[in-house]
Amino acid sequence: MNLAGLARHSGFIARNANAVTRNLGSQSSSNLSPSISRVSLFSTSTPLSCASHKSSSSDRETNRPGVQTDKYADGLRQNKDWAASTARDHPDLFPTLATGQKPQILWLGCSDSRCPETSMLGLQPGDVFVHRNIANIMHPGDLSSGAVIEYAVKHLQVKHVVVCGHTSCGGVAAAMGNKELGILDPWLLPLRQVRERNLALLESLSPDEAALKLVELNVRDGLSVVTQKSAVLNAIQERGLQVHGLVYDVGSGVLRELDIQETQDSLKTRLLAFKTN
Ligand SMILES: [Zn+2]
Q: Looking at 114, 139, 192, 270, which residue is catalytic?
A: 114
Highest mean pLDDT among 40-49, 153-162, 256-265: 153-162
Distance (Å) from CA 132 to ligand 1 centroid: 9
Q: Looking at 22, 70, 110, 115, which residue is catalytic?
A: 110
- Answer whether residue 12 shows pLDDT above 80: no
Distance (Å) from CA 172 to ligand 1 centroid: 7
Which of 40-49, 95-104, 160-169, 212-221 shows the lowest mean pLDDT across its residues? 40-49
Q: Looking at 9, 22, 166, 195, which residue is catalytic?
A: 166
Position 197, amino acid: R
User: What residues sit around ligand 1, an ion, with C-beta below 5 angstroms?
Assistant: 110, 112, 169
CB 36 within 8 A of CB 72: yes
Distant-in-sequence, close-in-space partners of 19: CB < 8 Å, separation ≥ 6 = 72
Q: Environment class of residue 251 by beta-carbon count within 10 Å: exposed (0-12), middle (13-18) or buried (19+)?
A: exposed
Average of per-residue pLDDT across 247-266: 94
Please confirm, yes or no, whether 169 is among the known catalytic residues: yes
Distance (Å) from CA 10 to ligand 1 centroid: 6
Please confirm, yes or no, whether 110 is among the known catalytic residues: yes
Helix (H) / strand (E) element for 36: namely helix 34-37
- What pLDDT is recorded for position 45? 39
- Answer whether residue 18 shows pLDDT above 80: no
pLDDT digits (tens, 9 = 90+) for 72-111: 999 999 999 999 999 999 999 999 999 999 999 999 999 9
| Domain definitions of the chain by residue range | 31-100, 101-274
Of the candidates 167, 164, 226, 218, the residue with the CA atom closest to the CA atom of residue 194: 218
Q: Looking at 9, 22, 112, 164, which residue is catalytic?
A: 112
pLDDT digits (tens, 9 = 90+) for 24-45: 333 333 333 333 333 343 433 3
CATH hierarchy code of domain 101-274:
3.40.1050.10
Please confirm, yes or no, whether 166 is among the known catalytic residues: yes
Q: In the structure, what pLDDT confidence band is assigned to residue 65 with cuts at 50, 70 and 90?
A: low
What is this structure's pTM?
0.77
